[in-house]
Each structure stands twice: as structure tokens, then as C-alpha cells.
Amino acid sequence: MAPCSALHAGALLGLAGHLLMHLLLLLSSGARAQEVSARSYTNYTVLRVTPTTDEQVRTLRGLEDRGVQWWTPPRRNFPCDAMISPDKRNEVVGVFTSLQLQPTVLHQDLQDSIEAENEADRRVRRSTPNTRTWTPFPTLPRRAVPRYQARVDKELQPLLTSRFAPGDAYINNQRYLDFEEITTYIKELAANHPNKVRLHNIGFTHQKRNMTVVQLSNCFECKYKAVWVDAGIHAREWIAPATALFALSQLAENETSTAEMREHQDWFILPVANPDGYEFTHKKDRMWRKTRSNTSVPGCYGADPNRNFDFHWNEIGASSNPCSETYAGRKAFSEIEALNIRNFLYANKERFKLYISYHAYGNFLLYPWGYTADNPDDWKLLRSVAEKVNAAMVQAGSQEYTIGSSTQVLYPAAGGSDDWAKGVAGIPLSYTIELPGFDFGFQLPPSYIDQVARQSFEGLRVFAAEAKKVTRGRSRSPTSRPSQRSFG
């Protein structure tokens, strides 16, 4: 009798606990108020196939009109990841089968992976009392994909025990910070290091958020030549802002390790290049990519800021459809975020020798052009720098990166920021870096931030040294002509 009633009481307690948990979930969502109405990806799957023939690639690309969103667009001999809505799943898997492609599963149920990411986030918040957003939180139901959850458990555990010392200003790279936290962090950094760190508000976003560039300098009056780094032009590529933030925290606070990088060289880092979109991915739709401006089509928002720069704008690899993920915008620089970046870069263009834009994912080190398959005159220099950068990252433990021009390695895409930086601003070294996604894609568990950020930083070290050797306006490649051309 006793065991039975104990069981009964236990079940009741379990039920009460369950209800309490839901209540707490509701209450605590005050901190994340909009989460309640966030877009759900329940029963969405993410599958990976690797086509080997052009015929397969053509058929796969055609699936775009049939319920598939490609996280990485189909190319021959590259892993191509498809996000598939539940109602289209059977049909799409049928197409894979007919092409004799054996898909592997990245996310069985994408919503479970998103919730696992949220849970990991809460656990780190719980364990780091010095983060201002700390909130006690009950344990969540473990609906997460076992594979994802197991990795989160295994790799998060050591991090959970390594607490930050009070007053430690090093970035918390154990979770993905939201826009407000990033803003708070860089303001603190500037306040703590007035002789080394300055903030530039380069303009407001569509929704009136500040776009803040962090300048790191040993001597502000000296006006040294400089390196530009931006991240998160595409909102859902969370590892990119995290990597940029780690870089700026090292440059500001890891004195001895970064002395050479800062010697006679300034850094301008824009850790969140699309704040409205980034905030939207945290609160409403984890997979949002574009800005959040209004378009001519009701219900379709935003343009792709990386198709919105005024250099061969909308000629190829971009869409004129406001509902498309690669919508080029109403006109070049219709997006205020792209325009703000343009204005700041252009006004200071003589100072920049290196432009870097962090994206995710797929391990690519890309140089211009994206608008044509032709190489820039000084492609040999661009390539050899990228090879050295790759070697340094691999040395630091990274997987290899694929190196090449955007068009040749990925696909044509006009209106990109890297093309504009080289073609219009005349910045000699210009790169888009697609950081690793492993077998998670955009939904990279936060336990990966530290390794990706550190390995990428070793690449930045090499970039910085190479930038010092380059002369602005003229590349050192013997066959090249000046790369500075006068476009609008």
C-alpha cells in the first residue's frame, strides 16, 4: 500500500511540478516577452545531401519553389543543407531518393534543437552570476534531439563550472548574447579602456537601434591604417557576431597576445551589422536572415543587406521579389544598415587596407568578385593571403577552409559588401568568411563558440600582418593594375 500511495503522491507532485513549470515558464517569459509568439519550427527537418552531378544540382535547386529552403545552396561535391517544412517532407525525400542521394539528418525536428539552444543559454545564465540578465529557471522538459542534447551536456558541463571572476570584462563566449547585452558589453569595454577603445555610432537601423563600431587603437591621433571587421549582416548567422566580439575583447584586453596586431594598426569592428534582424532572430524567428524594413508586398519584410550594396547591384544572384531571402532591395542602399556601413567606410576609405565580413556557414574564405566569374587583377595576392590565413586556422585546430572567389567557389551574388569594399572603396584586401557550421548549420550549439572564435582569431592575426604589407590603391602583385576604380 505504502509504495503505491507514495507512487500516487509522486505522480501528483509530478503533475503539480509540471503545472508549476508551465506557470514559471509563463512568468519568466517576462524577460523574453515575445517568445510566446515566436515562430515555431516544430516538425521542420534539416537534411544534408551531397550532389555529384550537374543534373542533380539542377533538380535540387528546383526544390526551392516546392517548400525547401536551402541553408547552403546546391553545388556539386559540397554538402547542401535543406530546411524542409513538415508538409513537404515526403515529397522532398522522394526527390532525393529518385536522384539516388542518401540524406543525412542534421535536425530531426528543428524546434527541438532551437529549444535545446535556449536551454543551454539559460543554464549558462544561471551559472554565471555576474551576467546582468541572470534569471532562475526551472529545468525544461528534455524534448531535444538526443544527439544535440548529448553534445550540449557533454561540452557545456566544464564551462558551467568555470565561473567568471567578478569584474572580469572578458567576453562571455559560452552563450550567444542578444543585442542589448552586446551593447552593454562594448559600452563597458569603452568605459574601462578610454585610451584604447572608442565607439562610433554610425547611424540608426530601420527600427532605430544604434549601429556601433568599436575602434581599437594605440594612438587615436596617429590615424593609422586600419582593418575593418563586420559580422552578422545576415541575422541568423549567430556565430559571426560571437566571433567578432571575441576578437574585439582580445584586442582590447589581451595585451601581450595582441600587441603586434595593434602596433601601427587600428581596428574598426562592427559586431552586429544587422541589429534589427539579429534581435528578431532572438525574439521571433531564429531563422530570419534579412533586415526588417517594409517592402511593397504586405507581410514580406526586409531585404538582403548583402545584396544591397551599390556595385553591379541586382545584376545576378539576387532577387527583385520582396518575399525572397535574397531580395536585393528597392534600389541600391535602400537598406539603412547597408547605407550606414557604406557612409562610414567611404568617409574613411583611405585608412582601410583590409575588409572582413564574418558570415556562416560552410568554411569558406572568399574574395571578390561575386558579380562575375572573372578574377580581380590581384587575385593571386588575395589568394595567397587567404592560404596563409587558412594555414594558421588549421594550425589552431580548425577544419580546412575552401578558398576562392565568391562566384567561382559558391555562386554569383551581386551587391555584396566585399565586392563594394574592393570595387568602390578601393580596399585592397577584401574577404567574406563563412565560419564553420559543423553538422548543425546556423543552429550551432553555444559550446562551439569558444573554439570557432579562437581559431578564427589566429586567422585574424595573419590577416593583420598581411594588411600591414599591402599598399593601398595598388596591390603588390607584379601584374596588377590599380584596383581602385571610380564607380558611383
Ligand X SMILES: *[C@@H]1O[C@H](CO)[C@@H](O)[C@H](O)[C@H]1NC(C)=O
Catalytic positions, please? 434
Spatial separation of the C-alpha atoms in residues 297 and 464, rounded to whole Å: 44
Task: Say which amino acid occupies 66.
Answer: R
CB nearer to ligand X: pick between 86 and 94: 86
Q: Is 135 in the site for ligand X (CB under 6 A)?
A: no
Least distance from ligand X to the Cβ atom of residue 149, Å = 18
Quick one: three-class SS letters along the chain? CHHHHHHHHHHHHHHHHHHHHHHHHHHHCCCCHHHHHCCCCCCCEEEEECCCCHHHHHHHHHHHHHCEEECCCCCCCCCEEEEECHHHHHHHHHHHHHCCCCCEEEECCHHHHHHHHHHHHHHHHHHCCCCCCCCCCCCCCCCCCHHHHHHHHHHHHHHHHCCCCCCCCCCCCCCCCCHHHHHHHHHHHHHHCCCCEEEEEEEECCCCCEEEEEEECCCHHHCCCEEEEEECCCCCCCHHHHHHHHHHHHHHHCHHHHHHHHCCCEEEEECCCCHHHHHHHHHCCCCCCCCCCECCCCCCECCCHHHCCCCCCCCCCCECCCCCCCECCCCCCCCHHHHHHHHHHHHCHHHEEEEEEEEECCCEEEECCCCCCCCCCCHHHHHHHHHHHHHHHHHCCCCCCEEEEHHHHHCCCCCCHHHHHHHCCCCCEEEEEEECCCCCCCCCCHHHHHHHHHHHHHHHHHHHHHHHHCCCCCCCCCCCCCCCCCCC
Letters for 204-223 (x = contact with ligand X by CB under 6 A, - = none) are ------x-------------
Q: Is 85 in the site for ligand X (CB under 6 A)?
A: no
Q: How many chain residues touch ligand X (CB under 6 A)?
A: 10
Q: Is 294 in the site for ligand X (CB under 6 A)?
A: yes
Least distance from ligand X to the Cβ atom of residue 243, Å = 13
Among 29, 34, 42, 192, binds ligand X (CB under 6 A): 42
CB nearer to ligand X: pick between 170 and 487: 170
Per CB under 6 A, contacts with ligand X among 229-258 are 254, 257
Per CB under 6 A, contacts with ligand X among 348-387 are none
Among 86, 129, 146, 397, binds ligand X (CB under 6 A): 86
Among 201, 320, 384, 395, binds ligand X (CB under 6 A): 201
CB nearer to ligand X: pick between 183 and 314: 183
CB nearer to ligand X: pick between 251 and 424: 251
Per CB under 6 A, contacts with ligand X among 139-198 are 170, 183
Least distance from ligand X to the Cβ atom of residue 6, Å = 33
CB nearer to ligand X: pick between 34 and 384: 34
Letters for 257-276 (x = contact with ligand X by CB under 6 A, - = none) are x-------------------
Least distance from ligand X to the Cβ atom of residue 458, Å = 8
Distance of CA 343 to the CA centre of its chain: 22
CB nearer to ligand X: pick between 1 and 36: 36
Chain position whose Cβ is nearest to ligand X: 257
Least distance from ligand X to the Cβ atom of residue 210, Å = 4
Least distance from ligand X to the Cβ atom of residue 201, Å = 3
CB nearer to ligand X: pick between 183 and 406: 183
Least distance from ligand X to the Cβ atom of residue 202, Å = 9
CB nearer to ligand X: pick between 183 and 417: 183
Nearest Cα to 200, choosing from 253, 270, 263, 252? 270
Among 25, 28, 35, 43, binds ligand X (CB under 6 A): 43
Least distance from ligand X to the Cβ atom of residue 249, Å = 8
Kindly list the residues in this chain that would bind ligand X in the complex (CB under 6 A): 42-43, 86, 170, 183, 201, 210, 254, 257, 294
